[in-house]
Structure 1
């Protein structure tokens, strides 16, 4: 590290800044969208859709089996034998394969 140039140091700084911005982007986006919905008089969480996507299956209703998207055992060996194109999906147990939940904020407002 004795022979590091100013350009390399600047590159490390910019790289660190970009990494931090990438990590923070989803939270910043959620904050901005919630404030926009609030200013329009909509539900902050769902935007008056009255449902939110499941966090486990991302709104699809299916989860790829096992860690890293595959199930250990005979299914792994079969999928490796034919090029690895077969990936088994299982129904999401968090949302009962629906992919969404009722918005808790909207249900509070409807019951009041």
Structure 2
């Protein structure tokens, strides 16, 4: 630790700040969108769409089988770059019964 310069410490500080901002961004976005919806008289959760995307399949109705936590990074990268068919088997999401969404609990109360 004797050879650390002020520039390296500043770089580490900026890196930590950027990482913190990246991690906090979804919660900050959810806060602002919720406040905008309530100021417009809309449902805070769904914005009067009356549906919420499934948290497991992200609204697609299918999840990829295999890989670390269901993620196959190599196949996803090749699919993105080469626009080729995926070799990963997709199975129906059991959480939402392959619909991709749930009814909004706030709107269904009405």
Normalising by structure 2, report the TM-score: 0.82
Pairs within 5 Å for 1:1-112: 1-68=1-68, 69=70, 85-108=86-109, 110=110
Runs of 4+ in 1 over 2 A off after TM superposition: 66-70
Structure 1 or 2, whichever has the larger Rg, is 1
| CA distance, structure 1, for counterparts of residue 32 and residue 102 of structure 2 | 22
5+ long unaligned stretches in structure 1: 71-84
Deviation for aligned residue 1:67 = 4.1
Count of aligned pairs: 95
The Cα RMSD (Å) is 1.2
